């Protein structure tokens, strides 16, 4: 989905195009960090909540991308 969105000419015309891609990249990095912390320290409730928040935000961005395509 992200690949398609990033190459779509109609999506590139939208004002939020760069913001959506940047937010996606940041969420991917945050997700990787949380996963690493979970591997090191276990599935702490706080980490699980943070992962849930990240996934909700990723879902919002995925919907925005799908709408733009």
61 by Cβ neighbours in 10 Å (0-12 / 13-18 / 19+) ranks as buried
C-alpha 6/C-alpha 21 separation (Å) is 7
C-alpha 46/C-alpha 66 separation (Å) is 30
Query: pLDDT digits over 11-59, tens only?
Result: 999 899 999 999 999 999 999 999 999 999 888 899 999 999 999 999 9
Kind and range of the H or E run holding 41: helix 17-41
Domain ranges of the chain: 2-6+24-68
Model-level pTM?
0.84
């Amino acid at each position: 989905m992200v690949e398609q969105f990033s190459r779509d000419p109609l999506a590139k015309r939208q004002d939020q195009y760069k913001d959506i891609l940047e937010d996606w990249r940041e969420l991917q990095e945050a997700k990787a960090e949380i996963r690493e912390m979970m591997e090191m320290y276990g599935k702490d409730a706080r980490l699980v909540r943070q992962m849930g928040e990240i996934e909700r935000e990723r879902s919002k961005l995925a919907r925005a991308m799908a709408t733009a395509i």
